[in-house]
Amino acid sequence: MAGPYVPGWERRCFSFPLRIPVGRPGAKALMADYNQVRDGKTALEQGAGYRIEYAEANHRQLGRQRLPQQLVFDRQDDLLGYLRKTCEFERFTAGSISPM
């Protein structure tokens, strides 16, 4: 007989640091939309609550490019803060969320 269901967050089965891959532009997109790619990279670098792991790509016309490869959330609190779900999660874990 199986025991009672225990959600993942109670069992602490979500492992941190949590790595989330960031889509990398292909060579054509990098060349055609360079300003958009640069602006997206800048926006990621100005974010808070995560680290960015980079990979280098060598582009024939643009040279060596350092592009984000994945976002890394070190703690659950960092992820919840980034998602703006901290208060909701606290209410949920306290059992105070009522059905709609």
pTM for the full predicted model: 0.71
Q: What is the pLDDT of residue 60?
A: 83
Average pLDDT over residues 1-14: 55
**Residue 5 belongs to some domain of the structure:** no
Provide the residue type at 97 as one letter. I
Mean pLDDT of the chain: 82
The range of the structural domain enclosing residue 76 comes to: 15-92
**Residue 6 belongs to some domain of the structure:** no
**Residue 33 belongs to some domain of the structure:** yes
Average pLDDT over residues 14-22: 88
Average pLDDT over residues 60-76: 90
User: How many domains are contained in the chain?
Assistant: 1
Q: What is the pLDDT of residue 11?
A: 55
What does the H/E/C string look like for the chain? Answer: CCCCCCCHHHHCCCCCCEEEECCCCCHHHHHHCHHHHHHHHHHHHHCCCCEEEEEEEEECCCEEEEEEEEEEECCHHHHHHHHCCHHHHHHHHHCCCCCC
